[in-house]
Amino acid sequence: MIITVTLNAALDLTYTVPSLTPHATHRVTEVAERPGGKGVNVARVLAALGHAVTVTGFAGGATGRTLRDHLTHTPGVTDALCAVAGATRRTLAVVDARTGDTTQLNEPGPTVTPDEWAGFLDAYDALVRGEGVAAVALCGSLPPGVPVGAYALLVRAARAAGVPVLLDTSGEPLRRGVAARPDVVKPNAEELAELTGAHEPSRATRDARRRGAHAVVASLGAEGLLAVTPEGTWRAAPPGAVRGNPTGAGDSAVAGLLSGLVEGLSWPDRLARAVALSAATVSAPTAGEYDPRVYADTLPKVTLTPA
């Protein structure tokens, strides 16, 4: 079993309009609703790959109930979210059908009380010490009220239980989390530069690893992934430009890395899977999902080079 942690879960709404124009009234041609937040997105892809996944974090209010109802209808995913008094946030993606561009609006999330945070810590500790836990993914932003060092605490708890842990966050939570020595960190180029102060990807990725992470996999957008690991350093790139909606592509890459870890794949094979899943997510008709046909076609074409 794999555990994904989404402290700031969301109900994702995607509106498609013929053309998005500022200051204008728009007629929505398509609406999609799904459970979201980075760790929930990762869980959904892992389940589609055949892995049993338990989702934890926070959920509350009417939005939280809707999110949890969606999770009960997601095969392979177990809901272990902790209830909070505040309402789970919503994220709104507006897709311009003419250009394919997406405009994203993200609510901040519920304010978590100290008692609610303490209750989550107890539940999380019980989960990571449970039988058959193969890995943990800690993903996304922190809702108001959660300590900035939360991920560092959760990394240490997973390591104490002997469970590999992947961290995907940003800002100060990333800086503190890296110092707790997670097995894998997956920042994008902007997050990596903010963490290290270096804008050259190779230098920044190596610097991030020196700060405590066992391995660092940097997402470089259309250029693919750059990984610095104990076994070597690689670049992995898709076979060509991919058109579509990039929402959730990074989460699919995390699912590829995590599934490869628990299956014992080599680092090059993990990276190829992550890039192929990311490309398939960009190409999918629904934001945040992945197209299995594109994945199967892209996987053998991913370019891997030592870096």
The candidate with the shortest Cα–Cα distance to 97, out of 19, 15, 14, is: 19
**99 — pLDDT class (breaks 50, 70, 90):** confident
pLDDT given for residue 47 in this prediction: 96
The candidate with the shortest Cα–Cα distance to 176, out of 206, 158, 203, 156, is: 156
**pLDDT of 146-177, one tens digit each?**
999 999 999 999 999 999 999 999 999 999 99
The candidate with the shortest Cα–Cα distance to 31, out of 298, 299, 296, 286, is: 286
Strands (E), 23-68: 30-36, 53-59
The candidate with the shortest Cα–Cα distance to 243, out of 294, 184, 196, 169, is: 294
Distance CA 102, CA 270 (A): 28
**pLDDT of 3-37, one tens digit each?**
999 999 999 998 999 999 999 999 999 998 999 99
- 161-198 burial, b if ≥16 CB within 10 A, otherwise e? eebbbbbbbbeebbbbbbebbbbbbbbbbebbbbbbee
Whether the pLDDT of residue 287 is over 80: the answer is no
Q: What percent of the chain has pLDDT over 90?
A: 89
pLDDT given for residue 102 in this prediction: 83
Phi, psi dihedral angles at 216 (to 5 degrees):
-125, 125
pLDDT given for residue 240 in this prediction: 87
**289 — pLDDT class (breaks 50, 70, 90):** confident
Cα distances from 167 to residues 138, 177, 191, 214, 295, in angstroms, run 5, 7, 12, 11, 24
Distance CA 136, CA 264 (A): 15
The stretch 201-218 carries a mean pLDDT of 95
Contact 83, 59 (CB under 8 A): yes
Helix (H) or strand (E) holding 173: helix 171-179
Query: pTM for the whole thing?
Result: 0.94
CA angle 266, 270, 274 (to 5 degrees): 170
Rounded to the nearest integer, the mean pLDDT of the chain is 95
Whether the pLDDT of residue 286 is over 80: the answer is no
What are the catalytic residues? 251
pLDDT given for residue 211 in this prediction: 95
Whether the pLDDT of residue 180 is over 80: the answer is yes
Distance CA 226, CA 218 (A): 5
Helix (H) or strand (E) holding 25: none
**290 — pLDDT class (breaks 50, 70, 90):** confident
Q: Looking at the DSSP assignment, which residues form a beta bridge with residue 87?
A: none
Pairing of strands 82-83, 53-59: parallel
* First and final C-alpha spacing in the chain: 33
**202 — pLDDT class (breaks 50, 70, 90):** very high
**284 — pLDDT class (breaks 50, 70, 90):** confident
The residue to which tokens 């990333």 are assigned: 174
The stretch 234-250 carries a mean pLDDT of 88
> Is the model more confident about 245 or about 130?
130
Distance CA 30, CA 15 (A): 6
pLDDT given for residue 65 in this prediction: 97
The candidate with the shortest Cα–Cα distance to 128, out of 92, 154, 93, 167, is: 154
Distance CA 64, CA 66 (A): 5
pLDDT given for residue 95 in this prediction: 87
